[in-house]
Amino acid sequence: MSLFQNAQFFTTVNHLKDLPYTKAEIAFVGRSNAGKSSAINTLTNHVRLAYVSKTPGRTQHINFFELRNGYFLADLPGYGYAQVPEDVRAHWVRLLGQYLQTRESLIGLILIMDVRHPLKELDKKMLDFFAETGQPVHILLSKADKLSKNEQIKALGVVKKALKPYMERQQVTVQLFSSLKKQGIEEVEQTVQSWFNA
């Protein structure tokens, strides 16, 4: 059975001070609507472990799931949702920054970006926040099914090129992913497994 299957909901927290103790965890981040909840559900094979939001950006809590190996997956609130007031959005970006920079048990970050709208300013900010930790980032270019195979390959190439400066300072890998077509699941599993094995 794969790493993510049979993941169990563990807890929800609303404040960083309430984060549970974990030996090791990986975190999922992304802009609202990037497909983060769908990716978690697809990887865990659950219909609704992570709630696929009708009103993105409203949920500002961190959900923890326990993986089969006893390590954890943290589902962080989506950022950049336009219909949330600017000060609230800015507040959440700061909190995400604090989490990414100070969470000692965080061993790697999964960053989800819509393949059609990659590397927005806040995505780059997340990479910047996390760069100082020296821990790896794996990027999922989500909703790949929205593009033809040729367009997917082209989009992957464009993102890889744009990531060159980031790759010089931290370990950044990137792949295509589709929850709808169940594309790219093994690649994510192998990457995350290698982090846990390291």
Name the site residues for ligand GDP (rule: CB under 6 A).
30, 32-38, 52-53, 56, 78, 142-143, 145-146, 178-180
**Is 192 in contact with 108 (CB distance < 8 Å)?**
yes
By C-beta, is 23 or 116 nearer to ligand GDP?
A: 116
- Cβ 15 to ligand GDP, closest distance in Å? 21
- Cβ 100 to ligand GDP, closest distance in Å? 17
Residue type, 140: L
Tallying the residues shown for the chain, one arrives at 198
By C-beta, is 12 or 194 nearer to ligand GDP?
A: 12
By C-beta, is 55 or 197 nearer to ligand GDP?
A: 55
What does each C-alpha distance from 121 to 80, 93, 118 come to in angstroms?
A: 10, 12, 9
CA distance linking residue 111 with residue 143, whole number of Å: 14
- Cβ 4 to ligand GDP, closest distance in Å? 15
By C-beta, is 32 or 197 nearer to ligand GDP?
A: 32
Count how many Cα atoms sit within 13 Å of the Cα of residue 7 in the half-sphere of its side chain: 29
CA distance linking residue 121 with residue 36, whole number of Å: 18
- Cβ 68 to ligand GDP, closest distance in Å? 22
**Is 104 in contact with 75 (CB distance < 8 Å)?**
no
